[in-house]
Amino acid sequence: MRCQKAATRTVNNPDGANYTHFCENSVVDYRARALTYYRFMLHRTATLSLLAVLGGCSTMGGPWEDQYGAPLRERTVEEPMLVNHYVIDSPEQTVVGIPQVVLARHADTLSDLARAYGLGYDELAVANPGVDPWLPGDQTPVLLPTQFVLPDVPREGMVLNIASRRLFYFPQMPEGQAQVVKTYPIGIGRVGWETPLGVTTVVAKAVNPHWYVPASVRREHREMGNPLPSVIPPGPDNPLGSRVLKLEMPGYLIHGTNQPYGVGMRVSHGCVRLYPENIEYLYELVNIGEPVRIINEPFLIGELNGEILFEAHQPLEDDAISIDERLEQLFARFGEVSGINLSAAEQDQIRTITSIASGVPVRVRSYDTAEVFARARLVRNIVETDPNSPTLSEVREMMAEVMLEDDQS
């Protein structure tokens, strides 16, 4: 969401600052967004099939119970990890969390599962190719990508990786206590409205901001037969949600949303949006003056228990740096920090994983399509039904139209 300053209005805020939020919001083209995702998944499924043929590995289309370690029916169902919160035991630790698997229920969607387990829609859908996002099916295993390679940047304040669509918050801890990281899915700026990169700070905070609707947005809604007022007060119709963190970067905010199903997608006009429950929690932790580092790192590499883990995300459509250039920089930096020089075979394996871009950290030296599920925990389904979510028939009709358009293009 690209935010713009306008006329001045005084707002009473907890930090004592007086300023006004003016944020531009427009109708999200979910049909175009879905079409882009559909095309990417077709390419990715074909890549997985080819790798399985060449390497003799199982693909993700078969009965998962027979492919991934101990059959799921023989595993103990555990409680899920504490959502969004991880302890960093030492400064050298580069990976947090563990992958989890949950059995979907009949009425669950990937959007429901993503929000329940602290994930964004895109990262969950990409980690589960071949699973119907709107009707996974009763007892279908769904991989929860709840393991993360930490970005290779200073661990202070907020770090936003727009490539992975995740925010990492490193709060300052009392002396003698272990460092922790809190991580949340974010919605970022779509093509043409990119979320800017760089280092900035939080300069102000606000509860229940007003939204002053720009003329371009009012005109767009009027042409669609859905006119908007010039000012939208706090409440369920306000796209900023109930909390706002204002950045020193002119015109950009970190805020909540009244459209939580867009979190984890590239759908805004530049600002960063979080689930309502996440921004409300984060708002109480973040102080004025805390640093904010916005990066674009689709490829991350780390170590865990002697294993090299590589996490690959699909680069943004408008990424100006080539994949080969990014990987060469990553290999050099990893050797510098860890003292490990990757072999030619390991580098080739990483390039193969890059082409799949599942967003899940995988073991480089022992990678196949089964190893993540073999070490994933089976956890209890904690999804609660959302009475305000779109009906299944409405969503499936939209997706059918998108796929028809793609077939005809």
Q: At residue 28, does pLDDT exceed 90?
A: no
141 pLDDT exceeds 70?
A: yes
260: which 2 tokens?
């939580």
Mean pLDDT of the chain: 79
pLDDT for the residue numbered 189 = 58
CB 341 within 8 A of CB 301: no
Confidence of residue 133 (pLDDT cuts 50, 70, 90): very high
Count Cα neighbours of 55 within 13 Å in the Cβ-side half-sphere: 16
Among 21, 23, 210, 255, the one annotated catalytic: 255
Q: How many CA atoms lie within 13 A of 44 on its CB side?
A: 23
30-55 and 344-356 are packed helices; what angle lies between their axes, rounded to 10 degrees?
A: 140
Burial class (CB in 10 A: 0-12, 13-18, 19+), 259: middle
Q: What is the pTM of this model?
A: 0.78
Which one-letter DSSP state was computed for residue 129?
T
Of 3, 21, 23, 271, the active-site residue reads: 271
Considering all CA atoms of the chain, what is the largest pairwise distance in Å, rounded to the nearest integer?
A: 65
Asked about 271 being catalytic, the answer comes back as: yes
Q: φ, ψ for residue 84 (rounded to 5)?
A: 75, 0
User: Exposed/middle/buried for 62, CB within 10 Å: 0-12, 13-18, 19+?
Assistant: exposed
pLDDT of 41 higher than 60: no
Is 23 catalytic? The answer is no
